[in-house]
Amino acid sequence: MNRVTPEQVGTPVAENLSRRAGTSSPLTITVPVTGMSCASCAISVEKTLHALPGVEDANVNFANQSALIRYQPRLLSLVEVQRSVRNAGYDLLLEAEPDNTSLAELQEASYRKLKTNTIFAFLFSIPVVFLAMFAPGWWLAKWIELALAAPVVFWFGRRYFVNAINQARHFHANMDTLVALSTGIAFTFSMVNTIVPTLFSDGMSSMGPPIYFESAAVVIAFISLGSLLEHRAKDRTSDALKKLIGLQPATVRIIRNGIETDVHVAAVQMHDTVVIRPGERVPVDGIVTSGSSYVDESMLTGEPVAVAKQPGSKVFAGTLNQRGSLTLDAQAVGSTTMLAQIIRRVEQAQGSKAPVEKLVDTIAGIFVPVVIGISFVTFAAWMLLSGTSFIPQALLASVTVLIIACPCALGLATPTALIVSMGKAADNGILIRDAQSLEITHKIDTVVLDKTGTITEGKPTVTSLIWAEEITEIEKYAAILYALERASEHPLAEAVARHFTKEGQSAPLVLTEFEALAGRGVQGRMDNELFYVGSARLLESLGMHIPMAMQSRMRAEEEAGDTIIYFFTKHQVLATISIGDPIKVGSREAIQSLRDLGIVTVMLTGDSKRSGKIVAKTTGVDQFEAELLPNEKGDYVRTLQKKGHIVAVIGDGINDSEALAQADVGIAMGAGTDIAMEVAHMTIISSDLRQVPKAMKLSRATVRTVKQNLFWAFIYNVIGIPIAAGVLYPFTGYILSPMIAGAAMALSSVSVVSNSLRLKRLSL
């Protein structure tokens, strides 16, 4: 395992990272944490991290044993962070290079050790219980029980005592403190009664003084079993992330200097020629240079249908090549591939915390000290109300309080549900930035959709280009129009440029000036004259009017829902261009699904009202607004929010970025711009709108599961602790056995995690 310690590190990992990211920028990383046994441990680590100068934010997740740290590398190195965490009684697993197997190996070794200790704890505990039940009066039985219980408590259960001592050294307390106190007190009391039987007994009882060796041993066995089951269950919550990590092949075949050779995937460089054989996974992002095949991209899009690939097609790391062979030019390798970015985003999202989880963490942080206090109060109450003759019952009740209290169930209630949910989302091609976004999504009552590239294909094509009747130099003006549209980044401009390219237009002219007019069009200068391409709004703002002849000729295209743009000067309309953008497959279905969920749908577009109305009517959106500038889209979202609506915005372009950032939840299409995806809270990798209702359903199911988990975790402790303290004794004479308390405590955590795992089977 490739762990980095302060003694081994010449240049800290953080310093290597800072050179790549820039020393003035904060870094956000996810680091595994070892030594945590409950939610209180996570709180201790989090407080330690927050206290460090240079740490801007830190979230410690008990469920996946990791810390999400945002820090300034110029002020702090990761080795210094590790040193502080170690001083608090825990550790960070640092790695010189990303190696996803090292953490798995550490967890597997921990699991094997825990499994061995659990098995032997039960093997030694069973005869102790047998002797306590069937040979209580035999003078030798208590000595045999002492001999068998001692290794269970202090060897197979030694980790609880070691961790409790480490916590006490730093004035902290956690679940291990409760286990160590309860079993240690029970064992010590029993040992004293075995060695000095008259100390707590008047000698009148033929059975001798009470001993609880069986309770101490069985509690260790049950809690170890609970930890074992919890370990397995928590491990399953991150199955989706492990599956993503497993999609990266270890070796790859490349061609260098005309020679084919197999190398480790980490050795692949940009623009290497990579050979993908049938049945192999693609190791890098690249462009196909030769060959044809079908590639299964379901890990990215969630869609099971394979996609045809031929020269010029893009392929992505982790996707599965089917029957054909492909040769490709590597465009992104290592940590820059889309797969690596998805893994990184899922890890960070799973390490983040929802608002409700932060509240639970606050409760968990004071839980253990409160329980210890309740235990002392229980003992004192028994002694005050019943007298010294009830010392065994008082001790039994106070020990049982320590055993039955379970901060783990509280600590696992929220993060396990979120981890499973985010993995489920990733399986369906939905990337969620953080837990807060997932939690808010269930409250959304209004969805605002962009039109071009979101509802429609975003690949518009020119359906007609009509020149004014008086234009005679069509070739000259066509070249100028081509130059203007080639310089623009708008999707409609790209459609015009593609049209001229297909028509065989030569290289575009060089404009002496060019300016994009946000939301309206573009302008450029050629031969000392300004030319414009844009909407009717731009045309009218310059005092121009569309000739009647052109209006009649374009009416059919407008009625079909095509977008009309104009090419003109300040003196003359030169041409009208009709551009059609087909509606995406699934858009109507997605919008109807949102409406079925009780969500109001609104379409915002910069296109004409006529075009917007036709698309709105065709897809079934509830409302639409057209001819909006980018800032007007943001203003519209703000207006909805002021009215009390929780708003999600779905978009794909730069012009949507303000609205996406303003929204309560911004959802970007994966085929859109990087800026849109950067500001969004979710990304639909496949750009299929049908994934959005799935995200809504998943959020609702996740919040429902979190509430169920929290309810049962709180109810368990609210009911269990008073019963353990002995509130039923005055009415029924019943005192809860520590053995039963230990089993209940172990099962409470397992039940919470198991409930979260039901999300994996959720049908979206």
Q: What is the DSSP letter of 99?
A: -
Which of 97, 40, 96, 51 has its CA nearest to residue 76?
Answer: 51
Q: How many CB atoms lie within 10 A of CB 543?
A: 7
Tokens of 390: 């009830």
SS3 713: helix
What whole-number distance in Å separates Cα of residue 332 and Cα of residue 326?
A: 17
- Calculate ∠ Cα 275-276-277, nearest 5°: 115
What whole-number distance in Å separates Cα of residue 682 and Cα of residue 648?
A: 10
What whole-number distance in Å separates Cα of residue 669 and Cα of residue 652?
A: 5
The dihedral through the CA atoms of 628, 631, 633, 638 has a sign that is negative
- Calculate ∠ Cα 301-305-311, nearest 5°: 85
Phi-psi region of 458 (alpha: psi -120 to 50; beta: other; left: phi over 0): left
- Calculate ∠ Cα 11-17-20, nearest 5°: 120
The dihedral through the CA atoms of 417, 418, 421, 427 has a sign that is negative
Known catalytic residue at 450: yes
Long-range contact set of residues 376-380: C-beta below 8 Å, sequence gap at least 24: 378/724, 378/725, 378/726
Q: What is the DSSP letter of 282?
A: P
For residues 414 and 357, the answer to whether their CB atoms sit within 8 Å is yes
The dihedral through the CA atoms of 410, 414, 415, 419 has a sign that is positive
Q: Which of 450, 562, 656, 664 is catalytic?
A: 450
The packing angle between helices 407-427 and 338-351, to 10°, is 160
Cα distances (Å, whole numbers) of residue 252 to 277, 282, 315, 328, 375: 10, 9, 15, 12, 61
What whole-number distance in Å separates Cα of residue 514 and Cα of residue 534?
A: 14
Strand-pairing partners, residue 578, are 464, 564
Q: What is the DSSP string of 456-516?
A: B-S--EEEEEEE-TT---HHHHHHHHHHHHHH--SHHHHHHHHHHHHTT--SPP--SEEEE
Helical segments of 198-303, H only = 213-237, 239-245, 298-301
Q: What is the DSSP letter of 583?
A: B
Catalytic residue numbers, as ranges = 450
